[in-house]
């Protein structure tokens, strides 16, 4: 996998800065990012000199193939014992663990076996690197978003009154997979009528009815990387009220897209959309952050939210997804995925944003 050497070098630089000999990486996306290994069980141990991937017999061959930059060690005992053996053989005196991922039970087992070294918590090292995508990663995300666009355009020919949310969701998933997605980034959201006011309404057996807003939030996964896009349509002719709410959300979304730029904090971009929605009197109907980072995980850093303090930089990928959710009328959300560039952003998702009536 391209880029692994460069990523390991960055990790090693951070280890030197923090004065620790090595780190364990167990969180699946972090593990995949640094090694290329996609198996479900494995631990990386990275020091200044060595890069070891400890896994079990099911994955040894796959690990050697996917992670050529790592020495693969097969674990045939408790994982904590193998980690201790490796740490001892490499003369590691201080070893970091992901404090936001390692469980209480794992920590207890590891501390016991690693009592001969300093077992120190760390967080954010790999996530910090993952925030800024390289060209290859941006290309994967673009592919994932193309699959989402393709599925959305396909579904417009399928949607009609009487079809259930679940049938729409399954058709979207089927289309993305058929066109080359390795899977979906998250369960497709299809929420119609009053259910569209649930920001994360799972698709249900409810049938689409004339007059419904339908929020469709989907993402394909391509080589591990996620897409994420939301469009809201109306079944039948939109009422003036629906048209007005949709217009407010679209205006806020377009203004926020124009505000995404390097050097700005996530909170500043969030405020652009939030102020527009508040100005129309719907502040309390937009109860979530404006957006989130997307990469190997569908929700990652940086956040565009009132508390988003990360300063945006080129290569970061964020969603821009304001919404208004009204219990009586339903909800509208419009979401694009963008990459921060040198002077603004480029948009991955291209599906039409004018109000679609079916
Ligand atoms: Zn989404
Ligand atoms: Zn999203």
* pLDDT for 97: 98
pLDDT digits (tens, 9 = 90+) for 303-333: 999 999 999 999 999 999 999 999 989 999 9
Q: Does 10 lie in the same domain as 112?
A: yes
* pLDDT for 2: 54
Closest CA to 345 of 256, 269, 260: 260
Distance from residue 217's CA to the centre of ligand 1 (Å): 5
Q: Which residue has the tokens 């944003």?
A: 353
Distance from residue 293's CA to the centre of ligand 2 (Å): 8
- What does the alpha-carbon distance between residue 95 and residue 18 come to, in Å, rounded to a whole number? 11
Q: Which residues surround ligand 2, an ion (CB under 5 A)?
A: 228, 319
Q: Does 97 lie in the same domain as 154?
A: no
Q: Does 219 lie in the same domain as 72?
A: no
Distance from residue 20's CA to the centre of ligand 2 (Å): 35
Express the helix, strand and coil content of the chain in percent, nearest 5 each.
Answer: 40, 25, 35
- 193: which DSSP letter? G
Q: Does 297 lie in the same domain as 164?
A: yes
- 132: which DSSP letter? B
- Structural domain count, the chain: 2
* Cis? peptide before 302, omega within 30° of 0: yes
pLDDT digits (tens, 9 = 90+) for 210-265: 999 999 999 999 999 999 999 999 999 999 999 999 999 999 999 999 999 999 99
- What does the alpha-carbon distance between residue 170 and residue 173 come to, in Å, rounded to a whole number? 5
Q: Does 44 lie in the same domain as 144?
A: no
Q: Does 46 lie in the same domain as 27?
A: yes
Q: How many residues does the chain have?
A: 358
Distance from residue 195's CA to the centre of ligand 2 (Å): 18
Q: Of 130, 156, 183, at which residue does a domain stop?
A: 130
Q: Does 89 lie in the same domain as 171?
A: no
Q: Does 119 lie in the same domain as 26?
A: yes
**Nearest ligand to the C-alpha of residue 230?**
1
Domain extent at residue 152: 135-357
What is the average pLDDT across 294-306? 98
pLDDT digits (tens, 9 = 90+) for 104-160: 999 999 999 999 999 999 999 999 999 999 999 999 999 999 999 999 999 999 999
Q: Does 274 lie in the same domain as 321?
A: yes
Distance from residue 118's CA to the centre of ligand 1 (Å): 41
- What does the alpha-carbon distance between residue 286 and residue 325 come to, in Å, rounded to a whole number? 7
Distance from residue 215's CA to the centre of ligand 2 (Å): 13
Q: Of 130, 161, 196, at which residue does a domain stop?
A: 130
Distance from residue 26's CA to the centre of ligand 1 (Å): 26
- What does the alpha-carbon distance between residue 304 and residue 297 come to, in Å, rounded to a whole number? 16
**Nearest ligand to the C-alpha of residue 229?**
1
Q: Does 103 lie in the same domain as 229?
A: no
Using an 8 Å Cβ cutoff, are 159 and 214 in contact? yes
Q: Of 130, 165, 190, at which residue does a domain stop?
A: 130
Q: Does 233 lie in the same domain as 113?
A: no
**Nearest ligand to the C-alpha of residue 232?**
1
Residue 1 has pLDDT above 80, yes or no: no
The domain spanning residue 154 has which CATH number?
Answer: 3.90.230.10
The domain spanning residue 101 has which CATH number?
Answer: 3.40.350.10
- What does the alpha-carbon distance between residue 330 and residue 78 come to, in Å, rounded to a whole number? 52
* pLDDT for 200: 84
Q: Does 111 lie in the same domain as 52?
A: yes
Distance from residue 138's CA to the centre of ligand 2 (Å): 17
């Amino acid at each position: 996998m391209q880029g692994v050497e460069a990523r390991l070098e960055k990790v090693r630089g951070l280890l030197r800065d923090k004065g620790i000999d090595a780190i364990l990486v167990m969180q699946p996306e972090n593990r995949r990012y640094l090694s290329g290994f996609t198996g479900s069980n494995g631990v990386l141990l990275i020091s200044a000199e060595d890069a070891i991937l400890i896994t079990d017999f099911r994955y040894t061959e796959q690990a050697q193939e996917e992670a050529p930059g790592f020495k693969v060690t097969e674990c045939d005992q408790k994982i904590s014992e193998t980690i201790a053996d490796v740490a001892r053989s490499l003369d590691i005196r201080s070893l970091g663990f992901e404090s936001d991922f390692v469980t209480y039970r794992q920590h207890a087992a590891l501390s016991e076996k690693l009592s001969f070294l300093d077992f120190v918590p760390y967080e954010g090292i790999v996530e910090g690197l993952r925030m800024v995508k390289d060209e290859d990663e941006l290309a994967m995300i673009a592919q994932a978003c193309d699959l989402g666009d393709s599925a959305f355009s396909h579904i417009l020919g399928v949607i009609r009154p009487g079809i259930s949310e679940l049938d729409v969701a399954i058709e979207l998933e089927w289309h993305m997979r058929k066109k080359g997605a390795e899977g979906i980034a998250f369960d497709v959201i299809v929420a119609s009528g009053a259910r569209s006011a649930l920001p994360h309404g799972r698709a249900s057996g409810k049938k689409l009815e004339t007059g419904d807003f339908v929020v469709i939030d989907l993402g394909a996964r391509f080589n591990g990387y996620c897409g994420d896009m939301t469009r809201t349509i109306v079944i039948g002719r939109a009422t003036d009220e629906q048209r007005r709410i949709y217009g407010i959300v679209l205006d806020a979304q377009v203004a926020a897209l124009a505000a995404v730029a390097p050097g700005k904090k996530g909170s500043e971009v969030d405020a652009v959309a939030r102020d527009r929605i508040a100005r129309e009197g719907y502040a309390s109907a937009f109860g979530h952050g404006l957006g989130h980072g997307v990469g190997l995980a569908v929700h990652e850093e940086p956040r565009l939210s009132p508390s988003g303090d990360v300063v945006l930089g080129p290569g970061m990928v964020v969603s821009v997804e304001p919404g208004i959710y009204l219990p009586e009328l339903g909800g509208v959300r419009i979401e694009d995925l963008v990459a921060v560039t040198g002077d603004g952003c480029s948009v991955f998702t291209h599906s039409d944003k004018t109000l679609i009536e079916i």
